[in-house]
Amino acid sequence: MSTVNPDDIAKDQLTAFVERIERLEEEKKGISDDIKEVYAEAKGNGFDVKVLRKVISLRKQDADERAEQEAILDLYLQALGMPTA
C-alpha cells in the first residue's frame, strides 16, 4: 500500500485491526502480570525464582537433547579445568 491514495484508506478496517491488536495486547499484558504474580507467590513461599525459571525452560527442552548438551558441557568444563554441572 506504499503509493496509496488518502481516500483509499479503509478507515473502518484500519480501526478494526488497531482495536483487535490493542485488545489482544491488553490481554497478553494481563497474563504477563499473572505470571509475575505466580513467581512472586513462589518466592514468598521460599522458592528460588531464578532456579524456578530454569526448571520451566528445561521442561520445554527435549530430554535427549538436554542430556546430550549437558554431557558436552561437562566435557568442555572438564577440559577447561572447571567444575562440571
CB of 2 to a second copy, least distance (A): 5
CB of 13 to a second copy, least distance (A): 6
Supply the DSSP symbol for 19: H
What is the C-alpha radius of gyration for the chain, rounded to an integer number of angstroms?
24
Cβ(74)–Cβ(82) under 8 Å?
no
User: Given CA atoms 53, 59, 65, 68 in this order, what sign does their dihedral have?
Assistant: positive
CB of 30 to a second copy, least distance (A): 9
Q: Which residues bind a second copy (CB under 8 A)?
A: 1-2, 4, 6, 9-11, 13-15, 17-18, 20-22, 24-25, 27-28, 31-32, 34-35, 38-39, 41-42, 45-48, 50-52, 54-56, 58-59, 63, 66-70, 72-73, 75-80, 82-83, 85
Q: What DSSP element (H or E) covers 54?
A: helix 49-60
